[in-house]
């Protein structure tokens, strides 16, 4: 006796069709920017232009983010009616600008702060020391055009000190975001204060804004100056005067 077993082909086909349909209905993977944004929001962290979100982004995600930004920038160039497909000068511009934003001019948002090692103030130094001029490079958060200038730092050390080059790295990291200058000065001072808690801290920044020199009023000579004084420099007018005398001797008052 022959026993034939028939395979329920029609049922399998039906199941396959249902599976295919269910897969089609699944939401597509979110854009990497949305994944990161959701993560930042879930953590309750701000993500204004001058905030860092580096601790929410992995290296792999940063590369993926650059790809997404490149695509969006290409859309901007298309809307500006620039023939990037045939113009050899702009063919790779979307990729270059995306990399520039994430890895260079706005790296303070997307890359962690450089490692800063502090040391005991073994000699119990309590005199003022100053550093500057430190080159400042940033961008106006209103128009995304450069802010370029110089900064000076004054320190009266407490229990901990750091190598002097670390101040340059801190300034560069904080300033490498879209900013308005008055907020940027406070953020640099806060970062230094959090790291070494000095007895006295002074920070002065003088910069030129291309949102004023390149567009708008087109005034090439105007510069903006901000000063932050805390601790000993705020409490003792003679120390504040000494700080400003020292930085004037190193070019602060020059045009």
pLDDT score of 213 more than 50:
yes
User: Region 224-243: what's the mean pLDDT?
Assistant: 97
DSSP state of 97: H
Domain layout of the chain by residue ranges: 32-110, 120-248
Return the CATH number of 120-248, one of 3.30.365.10, 3.30.1130.10, 3.30.830.10, 1.10.3720.10.
Answer: 3.30.1130.10
Can you give the pLDDT at residue 202? 98
In angstroms, the CA 182 to CA 161 distance is 26
pLDDT score of 32 more than 50:
yes
Residue 252: pLDDT band (50, 70, 90) is confident
pLDDT score of 24 more than 60:
no
The pLDDT tens digits of the residues spanning 80-126 come to 999 999 999 999 999 999 999 999 999 999 999 999 999 999 988 88
Return the CATH number of 32-110, one of 1.10.3720.10, 1.10.286.10, 1.10.10.10, 3.90.1640.10.
Answer: 1.10.286.10
Can you give the pLDDT at residue 192? 98
In angstroms, the CA 176 to CA 171 distance is 8
Average pLDDT, rounded, for the chain: 91
pLDDT score of 44 more than 70:
yes
Residue 7: pLDDT band (50, 70, 90) is very low
Task: Label residue 81 left, alpha or beta by phi (over 0 means left) and psi (-120 to 50 means alpha).
Answer: left
In angstroms, the CA 113 to CA 174 distance is 8
In angstroms, the CA 152 to CA 193 distance is 15
pLDDT score of 36 more than 60:
yes
**Judging by DSSP bridges, how do beta strands 200-209 and 224-231 pair with one another?**
antiparallel
């Amino acid at each position: 006796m022959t026993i034939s077993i028939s395979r329920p082909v029609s049922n399998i086909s039906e199941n396959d069709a249902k599976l295919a349909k269910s897969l089609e209905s699944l939401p597509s993977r979110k854009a990497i920017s949305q994944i990161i944004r959701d993560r930042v929001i879930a953590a309750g962290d701000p993500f204004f232009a001058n905030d860092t979100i580096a601790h929410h982004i992995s290296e792999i995600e940063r590369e993926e983010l650059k790809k997404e930004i490149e695509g969006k920038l290409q859309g901007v160039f298309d809307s500006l009616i620039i023939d990037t497909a045939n113009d050899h000068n702009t063919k790779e511009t979307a990729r270059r600008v995306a990399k520039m934003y994430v890895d260079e001019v706005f790296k303070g948002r997307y890359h962690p702060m450089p490692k800063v090692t502090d040391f005991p103030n073994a000699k119990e130094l309590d005199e003022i020391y100053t550093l500057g001029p430190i080159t400042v490079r940033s961008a106006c958060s209103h128009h995304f055009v450069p802010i370029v200038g110089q900064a000076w730092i004054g320190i009266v050390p407490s229990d901990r000190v750091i190598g002097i080059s670390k101040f340059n790295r801190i300034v560069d990291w904080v300033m490498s975001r879209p900013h308005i200058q008055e907020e940027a000065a406070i953020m640099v001072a806060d970062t230094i204060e959090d790291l070494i808690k000095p007895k006295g801290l002074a920070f002065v920044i003088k910069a030129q804004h291309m949102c004023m020199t390149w567009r708008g009023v087109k005034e090439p000579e105007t510069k903006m100056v901000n000063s932050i004084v805390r601790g000993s420099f705020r409490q003792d007018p003679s120390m504040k005067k000494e700080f400003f005398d020292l930085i004037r001797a190193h070019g602060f008052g020059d045009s």
